[in-house]
Amino acid sequence: MADGTIFIFGASRGIGLGLVGEFLSRGWRVIASERTHSDGLHALACDHLSIVTADVTDPASYADLGLADGSLDAVLINAGISGAGHQSSDKATGEEVAHVMMTNAFGPAKAGRTLLPKIRDGGTLGFMSSIMGSIADSTGGYELYRASKAALNMLAKGLAEQDAKPRDIEVVALHPGWVQTDMGGQQAPLTVAQSVAGLANVIDDCGGGGFRYLDYNGRVLPF
């Protein structure tokens, strides 16, 4: 879709920033959000890129971004933190649980629901999830991160069924792979460029209703 318009929520660095460059290279119009000024994002400045300031944990920051209803072909909510370093449900404080859940699950779900009217009928709403949010695939460990991404998947599925289905908007939870980012580390097997090329292909092929949990190659993941 060379003339599509996508909103990428969380585009200041890493995979989000890579997605901006990837979609621009494919001829899309991109609206990208940053929490604070991102030199990398502003370095991509061009006629097809608009930059807004928004924080997934602050609904007031994205309540009115001046977007017309039905003006977007796709929205991709890219937000994620690993959470407390110990990653233990036994050690976690209420504040640590709240932080990772609001950033990785409930914040993105609220942002997606808020932006849903801006997506055209038959469009796509994507959430950056992880294979670590799969209950079927889980081997344990990384409990805070895994629980937050599993929660995101559940919230995305519910949004698909209750809010997006009447307008044939497809909702997808996406696993970007293990990527060489600040979170993934340099030992990860995938470069940002490899991950975002696959993710862009998946988004480009989506639309038309329903819910899917997919990796960056478009493979269906166990829920």
Residues recognised as catalytic? 129, 145, 149
Contact between 125 and 110 (Cβ < 8 Å): no
**How far is 93 from 109, CA to CA, in rounded Å?**
23
Tell me if 116 sits within 8 A of 62, measured CB to CB: no
Please state whether beta strands 29-34 and 119-128 pair in parallel, antiparallel, or not at all (unpaired).
unpaired
Contact (CB, 8 A) for 41 and 11: yes
Beta strand segments in the chain, E: 5-9, 29-34, 49-53, 72-77, 119-128, 170-175, 211-215
